[in-house]
């Protein structure tokens, strides 16, 4: 599992890219998901990622809205993804390298924004409902051939359970959230991108 896989699954899949809401289903469902996301102040827990080749990675995650996030993968995968409110960085703890892009240029921005409105700014392609479950599928309209994101929520109560990234080749990566706690204090230092590593910043927006 390479760094590109981590970026795709741990960063791009955390939010729905922007565009117009698709037609053909009740927008009240999407509004309910937006209301749930807006109630999140802090969230933390553990996660499991299954890559397209079936390999499994685990780690801890921390979110503090607005703007802050940390996904820390456990060994043997030495990757940490951090958003500090301005930048999103991917740190390789073993190679001691750091790559950053503006947070506003990543899909993370919508999840971590102050006021989330998926109906106004989401690219929802379909909503599938089953007893107790809602699947919200989205694509980036600026890059429709780049794949899709499916966010999976429970409905009683509404809670984000996992997300699935399907790339342009049809390969899927899944991150499942476990042991989720909300509203706890999280040390602000967890959202600080370290500057002691080689730092390469990409200033270009997508």
Mean predicted confidence (pLDDT) in 152-162? 91
pLDDT over threshold 50, residue 2: no
Residue 123 has pLDDT above 50, yes or no: yes
pLDDT digits (tens, 9 = 90+) for 52-94: 888 899 999 999 999 999 999 999 999 999 999 999 899 999 9
What is the distance between the alpha carbons of residues 65 and 57, in angstroms, rounded to a whole number?
Answer: 25
Please name each of the domains of the chain with its CATH number. 3-186 (2.50.20.10)
pLDDT over threshold 90, residue 109: no
Which range (5-9, 45-49, 88-92) has the least confidence?
5-9
Please give the share of the chain, as a percent, with pLDDT higher than 90.
40
* Better-scored residue on pLDDT, 71 or 149: 71
Could you give the dihedral angle defined by the CA atoms of residues 149, 33, 69 and 51, in that order, rounded to the nearest 10 degrees? Answer: -30
Q: In terms of DSSP H, where are the helices of 11-92?
A: 27-38
């Amino acid at each position: 599992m390479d760094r590109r896989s981590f970026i795709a699954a741990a960063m791009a899949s955390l939010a729905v890219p922007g565009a117009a809401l698709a037609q053909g289903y009740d927008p009240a469902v999407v509004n309910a998901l937006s209301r749930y996301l807006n109630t999140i102040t802090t969230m933390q827990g553990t996660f499991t990622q299954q890559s397209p080749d079936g390999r499994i990675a685990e780690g801890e995650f921390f979110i503090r809205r607005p703007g802050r996030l940390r996904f820390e993968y456990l060994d043997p995968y030495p990757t940490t993804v951090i958003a500090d409110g301005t930048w999103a960085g991917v740190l390789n703890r073993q190679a001691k390298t750091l790559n950053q892009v503006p947070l506003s240029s990543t899909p993370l921005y919508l999840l971590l924004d102050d006021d989330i409105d998926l109906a106004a700014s989401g690219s929802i392609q379909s909503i599938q409902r089953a007893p107790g479950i809602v699947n919200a599928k989205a694509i980036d309209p600026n890059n429709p051939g780049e794949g899709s994101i499916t966010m999976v929520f429970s409905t009683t109560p509404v809670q984000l359970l996992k997300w699935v990234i399907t790339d342009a080749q049809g390969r899927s990566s899944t991150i499942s959230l476990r042991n989720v706690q909300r509203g706890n204090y999280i040390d602000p230092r967890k959202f600080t991108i370290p500057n002691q590593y080689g730092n390469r910043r990409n200033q270009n927006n997508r």
